[in-house]
Amino acid sequence: MSALISGSLAYDVIMRFPGRFGEHILPERIHTLSVAFMVTELRREFGGCAGNIAYTLHLLGEKALPVGAAGHDFAPYLKWLDEIGIDRSYIRQLDDVYTAQAFINTDDDGNQITAFHPGAMARAEEQPLPANSGARIGIVAPDGRDAMIQHAAQFAEAGIPFIFDPGQGLPMFDGEELERFIDQATWLAMNDYEAGVFCEKTRLGLEEIAERVQALIVTRGSRGSIIHVNGDTLQIPSVEPNAVVDPTGCGDAYRAGLLYGLLNDLEWEITGRIASLAGSIKVANRGTQNHSFTPGEFAARFEAAYGYSFH
């Protein structure tokens, strides 16, 4: 079974500064800031919401079909997708721009300075949803503004149920636009902070939003997640990770778990726990596409964590 995954494709350039940013910034001279930080660690990771979600869904044993746009520098990422067996038929490569890139510099206190270049992501609407992919469900994850609007409308027009995940794209939309997404989507997924912003922009309460979709999923980090469905509120516990190494991409792994449960018509209590475990496994690994497991290994970890099998 397959899922269409609309979202960003990006490179994450991760840097480590062995010191504290605050020791090199003079508050009284902040208006004329000119600072250089010598970094001792640097790595380039494959990322972006579509790539990350597709990666974990692929590990879970389902067919992931990422839909998005990349730039002229995308060859290494394409090679990676080919090596692991993810279909990249619906990724449009644009020859006149770079792939979206985030440059993240972290100091010893965990403070971060990030620069983000959207590149091809800003033109992701040039890649429409495929008409005959055979996908059962989909997701609209953070991407270029026009692409999120276009792909949500195309999912709705095609009658393909999909998750709407505004994520970091939330500031791009006003309340009226967000309500349109609610009416188009089948399910809605956000973290607790985003849920607060979403409610403020739409002037709707969580209960009102939940009544307009089949399920509203709100993640809360180490406190687990809450799924509002059929008038009930399900409390989904978190899973203690083997180590807390890197939370980046945890939400994407969680959403892959949601897609897996939906593709297999599992109950929400089980789907939420699969998603929670997927996020926990990701947290214990550096980068967003470096964790690894087979479907059998995942099933065994699920049984160890929850005391029963989801098969």
pLDDT score at 257:
98
Residues acting as catalytic residues: 252
pLDDT score at 296:
96
Strands 41-47 and 10-16: antiparallel
- pTM for this model (two decimals): 0.94
Share of the chain above pLDDT 70, in %: 100
pLDDT score at 110:
73
pLDDT score at 76:
97
109 vs 41, 48, 70, 266, 284, CA distance in Å?
15, 25, 33, 42, 20
Backbone CA torsion sign across 259, 264, 270, 274 = negative
CATH: 3.40.228.10, 3.40.50.300, 3.40.1190.20, 3.30.465.10. Which one for 2-9+47-100+119-306?
A: 3.40.1190.20
Q: What are the domain boundaries of the chain? A: 2-9+47-100+119-306
Q: Which class for 230: exposed (0-12), middle (13-18), buried (19 or more C-beta within 10 A)?
A: exposed
pLDDT score at 210:
97
pLDDT along the chain (311 residues), means of 10: 96 91 81 87 93 98 98 97 97 97 87 91 96 93 97 97 96 97 98 96 97 97 95 95 87 97 97 98 92 97 95 80
For residue 227, count other CB atoms closer than 10 A to its CB. Answer: 24
Sheet with 162-164, side-by-side order of all strands: 91-93, 63-70, 2-6, 137-140, 162-164, 187-191, 215-219, 225-229, 232-236
